[in-house]
Amino acid sequence: MITDALANRGETDERLISIIGKHYDARKIRLSGVGVGREFNDALLDRLTERGRGAYVFLGSEAEVDAVFGSRFVSLIETTAEDVHFRLHLPPSLRMNVFYGEESSVHREDVESIHYFANTSQLFLQDVMARGGPELSQDQVMLTIDYTDPESGAQAEEEYAFTLGELQAGERNVLKGRMLMRFIDALAWMARRSPEAAGDSGYGRGVPASVDDPEAFAECARGREGLANLARDIDDDPEVRRVLGLWEQYCARYEEPRYPVRRSAAPPNAWPGASR
């Protein structure tokens, strides 16, 4: 495992470090990264852990220290499955429209395998298009997972089959996936804004370190409403509540706009106006 304190010093060339990470991975050595503070090199750690196929987490506050190096520390060091590939078998009545992930292909070799670590989970979301009517509920979808056992080195494969009717019963995961995508899209919109988009005022007037950006403030309100609507039926999920809290924490930096009050001109002969 590495921390950002190491990755910020000495040799920091991304290409060279990623080669080192891939070299370690070939020898069954995993490189995991922990980003610390606000100025860590996100691109460097992301590329390094991607090549080293280790976990990468962000230590955003002191409150996260005990969790990252306590209950969740095992997820940084213990590999439970190596070289994992997922294959989804769709019935003729369905076709994939959008996959909300990094890579997908009908050719296995086009998708890079990944490793999975202890006490972690991953949610995949995709949109499919259907042909037919209600009888589709009996059509079957099968998921094949092939991987390498990290202890024995043996190849393994598992298969799971579901009817579309059974999948519809798992709507909570779909709602959760859509809420996460709404959260990610909103953050991406914020990140794409140029410094000039916030206007000339930059930081706000009253609250220290607040940002005077009416458009971003409005996007925060839209995001809050959209996330709340998607989370309405799943707000008992701890991860959902955490995402909602992260959005509120992010948006707390934007100061509420102070729009001037526009008043119409006083009618003729009305006090305090004067006629001539």
**123-127, 203-207, 229-233: which has the minimum mean pLDDT?**
203-207
For residues 17 and 44, what is the distance between their CA atoms, to the nearest angstrom? 8
At residue 143 the predicted structure's pLDDT band, cuts being 50, 70 and 90, is: very high
Instruction: Sheet with 140-148: list strands edge to edge.
Output: 114-117, 79-89, 140-148, 155-163
Which comes out higher in pLDDT, residue 49 or 276?
49
Closest listed residue to residue 37, CA positions, set 76, 69, 83, 3: 3
Contact 49, 16 (CB under 8 A): no
Distances (CA, A) of 48 to 1, 6, 41, 43, 264: 11, 12, 11, 8, 61
At residue 5 the predicted structure's pLDDT band, cuts being 50, 70 and 90, is: very low
Q: Residue ranges per domain, the chain? A: 2-77, 79-166, 172-251
Specify the residue for token string 């290409």. 15
Task: Output the pLDDT for position 267.
Answer: 57
At residue 257 the predicted structure's pLDDT band, cuts being 50, 70 and 90, is: confident
For residues 30 and 212, what is the distance between their CA atoms, to the nearest angstrom? 43
Closest listed residue to residue 17, CA positions, set 4, 109, 212, 88: 4
At residue 181 the predicted structure's pLDDT band, cuts being 50, 70 and 90, is: very high
Which residues make Cβ contacts (< 8 Å) with residue 222, sequence separation at least 6? 186
pLDDT at 244 over 70: yes
Task: Output the pLDDT for position 1.
Answer: 47
pLDDT at 271 over 70: no
The pTM of the full predicted model, rounded to 2 decimals, is 0.68
Mean pLDDT of 207-212: 62
Mean pLDDT of 221-249: 92
**9-18, 113-122, 126-135, 158-167: which has the minimum mean pLDDT?**
9-18
Mean pLDDT of 3-22: 58
202: which 2 tokens?
């930059």
pLDDT at 161 over 90: yes
For residues 68 and 31, what is the distance between their CA atoms, to the nearest angstrom? 16
Contact 17, 11 (CB under 8 A): yes
